[in-house]
Chain A
Amino acid sequence: MATEEKNLKGATEKLSEIEAKIVKGGTSEKLEKQLKSVQEEISTINSTLNDLESSSREITEMGTTKAQKFTFKEITGEVGGTEVIDGVITMSITGNANGIHETAHGYHRFKKNETTASNRWKLEILPYQRQFSFDASSVKNRVPSIFGTVSSRNQISEKWVSGIYGGSGTFIYSPGVSTKNLREFWEEKQ
């Protein structure tokens, strides 16, 4: 979080410099390009900070509420899962990055926003965004999708989630669907 705040400070200073140059000498294509780039950088940092703050706030709420029991279970591997077992929201996690991901599921299950499986693609967007903000490499390098690698948290979309595949070539969040059919589905949507 401290790193992101430092980055935000640096980007904001850079933005002020560019804006001052524009005020002083007028704008140019180069300055407009720089301005857009810094504005995007600030937006990304703000989203990351927002993700981290939200995760922290939700974990605190889950830890203090008496309305619902939660439990964490540490297991081996790369990805765990979140289930309601005998009324207890149980988050099986494999480490910190996966912990952030499953906590997002756990919180949304607590808030009753995860009661159906039909909108699986949508339900995975926020947890993957939070995970990306916490540890980008755990998503960039470790979550393959036929729709490409994400380089920012904002690229995490329903389409990207739908194309995530496992080591046996099967689509995780589109079980049983072929690559051809999945591509056709998104082509028809566009």
Chain B
Amino acid sequence: MKKIIFGIAIILISAIQSCMTTKDVTGKYSSRYYEHFLKLESDSTFKYEFRSFHMYAQSSGKWLRAGKNALVLNSNITTTVVPMKIAVLNNVSYNSLSINVNTVDSLKSENYRCQIYLNDTLYTIRRADSLSEFKLAHSPRNIYLKFAFDPIVSVSNLISPPVATEKHTLGIANAPRSIKLTLDLPTSFFYYRPFKQEVLKITRRSVAFYNSFKKRWEYVPKVPDSVNIFMRD
């Protein structure tokens, strides 16, 4: 009987202590299979890799505690949505679309494939250096683009998540118009996973990311510091 009372007392004391102290969450976390690989440093910085088969993205930035059971990630780049400039010319004889993609010299636009979405429907996929002019049967009400990194000369079998532009709403056209889009495509947006006020749950031996596709929390166990969790150090 004494042993049982002693045992209960120990459990109670541990429980009270754990409520009073904030658990140290620094260290490495690794999904058993896919997708999250995270290192929380003691200086409040983090490094992260997303790996799903050969799809790969990385991130880095700052983390902070949000109470006892949560933390928040903010990456150095908080969005990879590409801004677009749009110019519409009226008084033209036919509907058309032309897109001018600017990239840094080392990675020319031919290294990207552009998916053009008109009225939320895929219109065509082209290399991003061949987007000079499309004659359209109808002028679109809205337009956005998605870019996939598809290099002419590849040095890796890792695949970047696609990078999308903002969506432009144009409204209904009563007469033909010519749409000209101009955008700068930052190389740094590819292979990158942005976090903006991303809340992670903290449990005893893991952190959890919310999977909005599956609508559930995915627990990522803590692993020893000696384990190599990153593909690109």
Contact = CB atoms under 8 A, between A and B. Distances in A.
Interface in A62-99: 73-84, 92
Interface stretch (A3-11, A24-32, A38-46, A174-182): A174-182
B215 to A, nearest CB: 11
A170 B161 contact: yes
B213 A168 contact: yes
Contact of A92 (B31, B32, B161, B231): B231
Contacts of B33: 77-78, 142
Interface of B: 30-35, 37, 51-56, 115, 122, 146-162, 164, 211, 213-214, 218, 223, 227-231
A166 B159 CA distance: 12
A150 to B, nearest CB: 15
Interface stretch (A13-21, A47-55, A111-119): A111-119
Given A82-B156, A173-B159, A175-B160, A166 B52 contact: yes
A115 B231 contact: no
A166 B162 contact: no
9 contacts: A75-B228, A76-B227, A77-B31, A79-B34, A116-B151, A117-B151, A118-B150, A168-B52, A175-B148
A122 interface: no
A172 B157 CA distance: 11
Nearest to A80: B231
Report, as a range, how many residues of chain A touch the other chain.
Answer: 35 or more
B227 A83 contact: no
Nearest to B28: A76
Nearest to B231: A92
A59 interface: no
A172 B54 contact: yes
Q: For A105, A115, A167, A169, which residue has the most chain B Cβ atoms within 10 angstroms?
A: A167
Q: For A84, A143, A168, which residue has the most chain B Cβ atoms within 10 angstroms?
A: A168
A188 to B, nearest CB: 13
B158 A83 contact: yes
A101 to B, nearest CB: 10
Nearest to A74: B228
Given A81-B54, A118-B150, A143-B53, A75 B229 contact: yes
A114 to B, nearest CB: 7
Nearest to A117: B154
B31 to A, nearest CB: 6
A81 B156 contact: yes
A5 to B, nearest CB: 32
Interface in A117-161: 117-118, 120, 123-124, 142-143
A76 B55 contact: no
A116 B155 contact: no
Given A79-B34, A143-B53, A176 B146 contact: yes
Contacts of A175: 55, 148, 159-162
Contact of A177 (B115, B149, B231): B115
A84 B155 contact: yes
B231 A164 contact: no
Contact of B35 (A75, A80, A123, A168): A168
Nearest to A173: B159
A84 B155 CA distance: 5
Contact of B150 (A79, A80, A92, A117): A117
A77 B51 contact: yes
A172 B122 contact: no
A123 B157 contact: yes
A115 B152 CA distance: 8
